Amino acid sequence: MTTPDALSLVRDLIRCPSVTPADAGALGLIERVLAGAGFETHRVVFRQEGYPDTDNLYARLGSQAPCLLFAGHTDVVPPGDTDQWRFDPFSAEIADGMVWGRGAVDMKGGLACSIAAVLGYLEAHGRPAGSIAFLITGDEEGPAVNGTVKLLEWAHARGERFDHCILGEPTNPDALGDMIKIGRRGSLSGAIVVDGKQAHVGYPHLGDNPVHHIVRLVTALKASPLDSGTPHFDPSNLEVTSIDVGNTTVNVIPARARAQFNIRFNDLWTPETVADEVRRRIDAAAQGARVTLNFQPTNALAFLTQPGPFVEALSAAVEAETGRRPALSTTGGTSDARFICKYAPVLEFGLVGQTMHAVDERSSIAEIETLERIYRRALTAYFAGG
């Protein structure tokens, strides 16, 4: 079998319109390629009431340690108004040195590079003194309920163990080689509801204006920093994302006001401790207001992969192929690394993310080829004991 290159793979994957939770043939394509290279493959569908059924793929070559896991997702966000795209978002056109299409960056490009790198490594070196595995979901861009989190539980129950993981999310802000993610902040969202008393604005003593209370409360939330950061994390940050009253009349004091907020917290906090701090600040500023505070469930905890030999091996591979020493970062949003970190140290490194989720999502062909070489170099170092 001819070993497919990363560009061919990413084009084939883009042509599968796998908008969450649809698979559209993407996992089957990958399964055939990996099975042809000797991987034992498993397609696993998870179900949970209230969420779409999700197809997932697990594949492994070898049974011995160390095991290097590559993780990723084939699902993509909707393309939006396709008339705004230069090309059909699922046509994988080549133009201007780029491959164009939904998922080219996030993250079919990174996934294709990891697969091609593994196949190239096996062709050059044969089976490693250890194992290589792939853990691929169709539920990363969606609710993330029936995907990686459950596939990891399934694999662990089978006795699968991983020593390290590379997740090919687009981590580079401007150029390939800029950044490796060695951790992520946690995320907690909540809402404050203040019940007041409706009245005529000309008779404010007859009412209790919840707008005045909500302004005081959100000001208290932002009055002082949550912390000053840690060696690998920026300070935790609370953002008020909306203040809503629903009042369309200027001469009526409204009966209720609501504010929403999100906190991105570092490794000084857990969801429980940061929620306690929010409650403390709200209680101190309530001044008798009737306040209800609610938090959304979260599975996004802060985590960190400590710098060491694994981080150095990937950093050295990036520098060798790009000439850039990547920054070690914990910035940005959440990813499936928040689940993987419970089973193995995980690093994120992929393509340049400037067009992810955007109209005309595209990736440089040269950067796809370079990323494939980076992954292959990292594989060689990993199984050589580097």
DSSP 86-141: SS-TTS--EETTEEESTTTTTTHHHHHHHHHHHHHHHHHH-S-SSEEEEEEES-SS
Residue 1 lies in a domain: no
Residue 307 shares a structural domain with residue 240: no
Residue 31 lies in a domain: yes
Residue 33 lies in a domain: yes
Q: What is the pLDDT of residue 385?
A: 73
Residue 283 lies in a domain: yes
Where among 239, 262, 295 does a domain terminate?
295
Residue 171 shares a structural domain with residue 309: yes
Residue 60 shares a structural domain with residue 145: yes
Q: What is the pLDDT of residue 34?
A: 98
Domain holding 260, by residue range, is 186-295
CATH of the domain at 240: 3.30.70.360
Q: What is the pLDDT of residue 299?
A: 87
Structure tokens at 225: 């920093």
For the chain, 386 residues long, give each residue's pLDDT as a single digit of tens: 567 899 999 999 999 999 999 999 999 999 999 999 999 999 999 999 999 999 999 999 999 999 999 999 999 999 999 999 999 999 999 999 999 999 999 999 999 999 999 999 999 999 999 999 999 999 999 888 999 999 999 999 999 999 999 999 999 999 999 999 999 999 999 999 999 999 999 999 999 999 999 999 999 999 999 999 999 999 999 999 999 999 999 999 999 999 999 999 999 999 999 999 999 999 999 999 999 999 999 989 999 999 999 999 999 999 999 999 999 999 988 899 999 999 999 999 999 999 999 999 999 999 999 999 999 999 999 999 75
Residue 263 shares a structural domain with residue 306: no
Residue 202 lies in a domain: yes
Residue 28 shares a structural domain with residue 130: yes
Residue 206 shares a structural domain with residue 162: no
Q: Which residues lie closer than 8 Å to 341 by C-beta, 6 or more apart?
A: 303, 305
Residue 179 shares a structural domain with residue 190: no
Residue 176 shares a structural domain with residue 31: yes
**DSSP type of residue 172:** B
Active site members: 75, 140
| Identity at 125, one-letter amino acid code | H
Residue 351 lies in a domain: yes
Residue 240 shares a structural domain with residue 366: no
Residue 273 shares a structural domain with residue 344: no
Residue 160 shares a structural domain with residue 51: yes
Residue 193 lies in a domain: yes
CATH of the domain at 353: 3.40.630.10
Distances (CA, A) of 143 to 221, 350, 356: 28, 22, 18
Residue 130 shares a structural domain with residue 97: yes
Number of domains making up the chain:
2
Where among 295, 323, 348 does a domain terminate?
295
Residue 312 lies in a domain: yes
Where among 239, 260, 295 does a domain terminate?
295
